[in-house]
Amino acid sequence: MGSCENVPFHGELQKIRLIANNMGYGPLPAPDEEVEQRLTMTREGKVLLSRYSFHDTMCNRLMSRKQFSVDSRCVESLFQQISTHFAENELIGMATDVPIWNLELFNTTGEVFRYTGPMLRKFHPFLDVISDKLRLLLEKEHLFAFDGEP
């Protein structure tokens, strides 16, 4: 089982883990404002979504954790698009002082591929489309996803 950062994805995508942190440079959010979402989804359609609110500058507080399932055929289609995109080794540009996302892609052999990018709408059009598809599939219109535009 290996771990790779910012290298082309290969293999069959088994699971994704997306951490979207909505805090950037600037004033601190209000207490209990949602600032982070952690999404884990498997090829079989199992989903875990954890939401965190601002607690203090050192840690966030868990607001909710939900486990549910979605149609695995829809997940397979989405996973195919994600794995194809990240297999092309297109480097994700960065922007400073903005919210970020961290993505882990797990293949069936246990390798983990890690990517990071800015959580900005229109910064990376393909990830905007994936964000919208995630919201529809999960029926979660307030999902930060890759673009932070719930």
- We report the CATH number of the domain holding residue 27 as 3.30.1560
Query: Greater confidence, 29 or 53?
Result: 53
Position 146 in a domain:
no
**pLDDT digit string, tens, across residues 94-108:** 666 688 999 999 999
Query: Greater confidence, 92 or 43?
Result: 43
Q: Is the pLDDT of residue 1 over 60?
A: no
Position 149 in a domain:
no
Position 33 in a domain:
yes
Q: Which domain holds residue 41?
A: 3-138
Position 23 in a domain:
yes
Structure-token pair, residue 90: 């297109």
Q: b/e per residue, 11-35, with b = 16+ CB within 10 A?
A: eebbbbbbbbbbbeeeeeeeeeebb
Query: Greater confidence, 48 or 57?
Result: 48
Q: Which of 88, 86, 106, 59 is nearest to 146 (CA)?
A: 86
Position 145 in a domain:
no
Position 144 in a domain:
no
Distance (Å, rounded) from C-alpha 126 to C-alpha 131? 9
State how many domains the chain has. 1
Q: 121 pLDDT band (50/70/90 cuts)?
A: confident
Position 100 in a domain:
yes
